[in-house]
Amino acid sequence: LPGLAHFLEHMVFMGSEKYPSENGFDAFLKKHGGSDNASTDCERTVFQFDVQRKKFREALDRWAQFFICPLMIRDAIDREVEAVDSEYQLAKPSDSHRKEMLFGSLTDVVLLWYLDTLEEWVKEIFSGVPNNAQPKPDFSELLDPFDTPAFNKLYRGRNTCSIEVKPLHYISWLIGHEGTGSILSILRRKCWAMALFGGNSETGFDQNSTYSIFSISITLTDQGFQNFYQVAHLVFQYLKMMQSLGPQQRIYEEIQKIEANEFHYQEQTDPIEYVEDICENMQLFPKEHFLTGDQLMFQYSPEVISAALSLLTPDRSNLLLLSPDHEGHCPLREKWFGTHYSVEDIQQEWRERWNGDFELSSDLHLPVKNKFIATDFSLKLSDCPDTELPVRVTANDRGCLWYKKDNKFNIPKAYIRFHLISPVIQQSAKNLVLFDLLVNILGHNLAEPAYEADVAQLDYKLSVGEHGLVIKVKGFNHKLPLLFHLILDHLADFSACQDVFNMFSEQLKKTYFNILIRPEKLGKDVRLLVLEHGRWSMVEKYQALADGGLTVEELMEFSRTFKTQLYAEGLVQGNFTSQESIQFLQYITDKLQFSKLPAEVPVLFRVVELPLKQHLCKVKALNKGDANSEVTVYYQSGLKNLREHTLMELLVMHMEEPCFDFLRTKETLGYHVYPTCRNTSGVLGFSVTVETQATKFNTELVELKIEEFLSSFGEKLSALTDSAFNTQVTALVKLKECEDTHLGEEVDRNWAEVATQQYVFNRLHREIEALKQMTRAELVSWYLEHRGHNCRKLSVHVVGFGPEEGDPPGDDNSSYGEVSKLTFLPASPKMAAATSIMDIPSFTQSLTLFPYHKIIQ
């Protein structure tokens, strides 16, 4: 029965004979600062949880009862089927899921206790788990699982080993290389592709007891789509070149060195993630490789690599071409996801060419020696007094730098982050689009020269901020300045030719389109458009691009203007001295040569003050084949201080499990249901969100159920005992007191203070102190004050297509109306008390604006 393992993954959480309460395990974990999760792959299900140390044994016993004596009550089964179906409905529009299902249809077939104490607990608690003593299924006789006439074809669809050697890792390293001479390098030069991913993901779908696959996924441009056979031919040429040259020991040892460096100097990860990784490794590797099997390459064996390479030939391949242009040309339909597709023979001309001794492109070659691999791992001595928090080591009218030397984790790594703030970005929707293009094309220009740094474990990320360009660089400090200088050099000398401009304009238009057709993304855009004054909507950005009025000359002019109107604010942490860190800011100002800004640029929006009543903004989803809806009910609190922000965190922590139990488990409204503490440009509020389907529920009914939950939660909160309140406070305090597991966690927290220009680097400590002084009465009073007639409430509904919303019957195929315009819907009599927002600018223009506000007191 397909999906049974996934369904049972859900059901075991619904109570056991020893602990019969539904969601009792979740409630226990939430009460004691813990969390849990589970995931089902093709051949295994992984369950995991974490909790405060003193409650670990009790949690372990509750957990073990999942597998010893789960209740499986009929009523719970019926309700959880709905939850699984909601998860399925959320996955149906996903191209990656649809592709896997289509592909699958082609085949025939660090511890805080002593280890001995933990081992004793596991033996004692898990001894009751049934075991049928049967061996694991053996599929070794299936030598060619895809040896079927259906496999070696061209499929058109519509969008919606050796443990020691790791031969597929070696091959994927070369196939996925983006440097000079690579497949992607040539495709980018021709403007035929944006990205390429090659390899075996080691998920249950890519690698299991019956087969392993090697996938090469290429994101084509429109021009590349028209030349997809030539694209495939280039891939086969590269594979043939690799087969002709044979395995290269120099390249293997370079990969081996990079992986070893990362392993030996890796930072500690979150314990629950580490446990999950080791748990999965225990299913895949022998005992001696539980800790290292997924990370290290142990020995070079050209024979093993050659054997794997010899299997990557055109006659063993399957081509899958996904495009919305195939609309109306896909008569076949996949059973489970309903994906429409067609099957055709690979063109005879190409089949004959690939079966023969075809020539290789002279542009293809293997990577050269990597200059970014670190060799100096020494720790630097401080050149200034050590501090617990970042300090500003330099500041002038063009920028400033915050710095902290790492003396805690003591690794030869560092983090460099800069926010290049500019007033020109938010001047118009057109400027926002030009800024997106600038950052995307800058990334494209860097892709080839910076790729060697990327594979040498030096990471960089260029992000479009609301008010500036964010540059993040991290990795081994030895070669990190090389990468940072490379990025700034390319920004200073930014250029874009017409073909690249056209390619990225078309790609950005698709990106905006994909955001608009996703209910959760559209819901966020609508909510912030109502709340934040001066924000440009995704629809306005899409229109600015879709109108076709932008030119490469305008992009170059925007680039010049942007680079002359900047303020650079940065943070450097890790294995650099203060003087070395100051040089990064100096390099920015010297290279870009910008002048002082005439006025300070705010890094926040001003926010509207919602009236003391309920408002409903209800828009129709844009994908007529998507039943998914989203409802967010938001309560605005206002300009508050750090204490009240912490109080809201505590409220949401109290709310999480009851929200899940009421709206998902009992009412089965949808798979994703959650409360959120919201900080909107310094203005606080909280919300409850439900993602549902129009085939099952009307969004207004969902909102009424949310209100029903909030009322029942108010009663539950009022009846809360001091003991239960103190337990939850302690749990939140313990979470905030958790030591950072790696330097990146500390940097992320400090960067959030720099990026928002709040600079409360000891915020966690102050929140803990505030929590210790809170009372139950204060929490209850705050919640009740934000309910009823005292509330400033905004509801945002993104309404999917289905019978519960009055839509006529139709199939579940994606189809779109006018994407450059939103359809606003009025409230029904069910929500007569709400004022409908039918035009956002008209609604917000008369509202009071809060002043700029930072939560620093």
Residues 471, 555 within the same domain: yes
pLDDT at residue 693 in the model:
95
- Whether 290 is covered by a domain: the verdict is no
Q: d(Cα 365, Cα 576) in Å, to the nearest integer?
A: 37
Q: Within 13 Å, how many C-alpha atoms sit on residue 736's CB side?
A: 21
Kindly report the average pLDDT of the chain as a whole number: 89
Q: Please tell me the distance from the alpha carbon of residue 253 to that of residue 250, in angstroms, as a whole number.
A: 5
Of all helices (H) and strands (E), which one includes residue 503? helix 498-516
Determine, yes or no, domain membership for 218: no
Q: Which of 126, 150, 166 is the last residue of a domain?
A: 126
Question: Looking at the domain assignment, is residue 259 inside a domain?
Answer: no
With contact defined as beta carbons under 8 Å apart, do 340 and 324 qualify?
no
Phi-psi region of 757 (alpha: psi -120 to 50; beta: other; left: phi over 0): left
457 φψ region: left (φ > 0), alpha (ψ -120 to 50), beta (else): left
pLDDT digit string (tens) for 674-706? 999 999 999 999 999 999 999 999 999 999 999
Domain contains 850? no
**Whether the predicted pLDDT of 109 surpasses 50:** no
Asked if residues 733 and 795 have their Cβ atoms less than 8 Å apart, the reply is: no
What does the pLDDT look like over 410-432, one tens digit per residue?
999 999 999 999 999 999 999 99
Q: Is residue 427 part of a domain?
A: yes
Do the domain assignments include residue 332?
A: no
Number of domains the chain is built from: 3
pLDDT of 161 above 80:
no
Q: Which residue has the higher pLDDT, 163 or 829?
A: 829
pLDDT at 139 (0 to 100): 54
Catalytic residues: 9
Do residues 575 and 642 share a domain?
no
| Percent of the chain with pLDDT strictly greater than 90 | 63
Return the DSSP state at 647: H
Mean pLDDT of all residues in 468-488? 98
Question: How does pLDDT run across 625-676, given as a tens digit for each residue?
Answer: 899 999 999 999 999 999 999 999 999 999 999 999 999 999 999 989 999 9
How high is the pLDDT of residue 155? 44
pLDDT number for residue 118: 67
- For residues 560 and 617, membership in a common domain is answered with no
Give CA–CA dist 497/605, Å, rounded.
Answer: 34
For range 580-604, the mean pLDDT: 95
Indicate the residue among 592, 626, 651 that finishes a domain: 592
One domain, residues 577 and 485: yes
Nearest to 546 by CA among 427, 426, 431, 433: 433
Q: How many residues does the chain have?
A: 857
811/815 Cα distance (integer angstroms):
10
What confidence tens digit (pLDDT) does each residue in 607-623 have?
999 999 999 999 999 99
Specify the higher pLDDT residue, 305 or 821. 305
pLDDT of 355 reads: 86
- Looking at the structure, tell me whether residues 494 and 633 fall in a common domain: no
335 vs 616, residue with greater confidence: 616
Q: Comparing C-alpha atoms, which of 150, 135, 2, 125 is closest to residue 60? A: 125
Q: Are residues 611 and 553 in the same domain?
A: no
Same domain, 685 and 811: yes
- Could you say which of 81, 98, 126 is where a domain stops? 126
Q: 579-583, long-range: CB within 8 Å, 24+ apart, which pairs?
A: 579/383, 580/380, 580/481, 581/393, 581/401, 581/403, 582/393, 582/394, 582/401, 582/403, 583/481
Q: Is 216 within the bounds of a domain?
A: no
Closest to 602 in 3D by CA, of 756, 462, 463: 756
576/452 same-domain check:
yes
CATH number at residue 575: 3.30.830.10
676 and 813 co-located in one domain: yes
Percent of the chain with pLDDT over 70: 92
Tokens encoding 225: 């789509």
Give CA–CA dist 759/757, Å, rounded: 6
pTM reported for the whole predicted model: 0.81
Instruction: State which amino acid sits at residue 617.
Output: C
Q: Where residue 324 falls among pLDDT bands split at 50, 70, 90? A: confident
Is the separation of the CB atoms in 564 and 594 below 8 Å? yes
Q: What is the pLDDT of residue 157?
A: 46
User: Which segment of 276-290, 350-364, 603-617 scores lowest on mean pLDDT?
Assistant: 276-290
Question: Do residues 584 and 661 both lie within one domain?
Answer: no
What is the domain extent for residue 30? 4-72+110-126
* Cα–Cα distance for residue pair 537/429, rounded to 1 Å: 8
What span, in angstroms and rounded, lies between the C-alpha atoms of 777 and 648?
14
Residue-wise pLDDT tens digits, 505-520: 999 999 999 999 999 9
Lowest-pLDDT range of 344-353, 470-479, 843-852:
344-353
Lowest mean pLDDT among 21-35, 299-313, 377-391, 718-732: 21-35
* Chain segment 360-371, per-residue pLDDT in tens: 999 999 999 999
SS3 437: helix
Q: Is residue 204 part of a domain?
A: no
Please compute the mean of the pLDDT values over residues 227-231 and round it to a whole number. Answer: 94
In this prediction, residue 703 carries a pLDDT of: 97
Residue 785: is its pLDDT beyond 60?
A: yes
Q: Indicate if 514 and 553 belong to the same structural domain.
A: yes
Q: Let me know whether 582 and 678 are in one domain.
A: no
DSSP 8-state assignment for residue 834: S
DSSP reduced 3-state for 155 = strand
Residue 386, token pair as written in the block: 């050590």
φ/ψ (deg, to 5) at 53? -55, -40
Within 10 Å of residue 298's Cβ, how many Cβ atoms? 14
Look at the block and give the residue holding tokens 């990557």. Answer: 312
Strand, helix or coil for residue 218: strand
Residue 365: phi, psi to the nearest 5? -160, 165
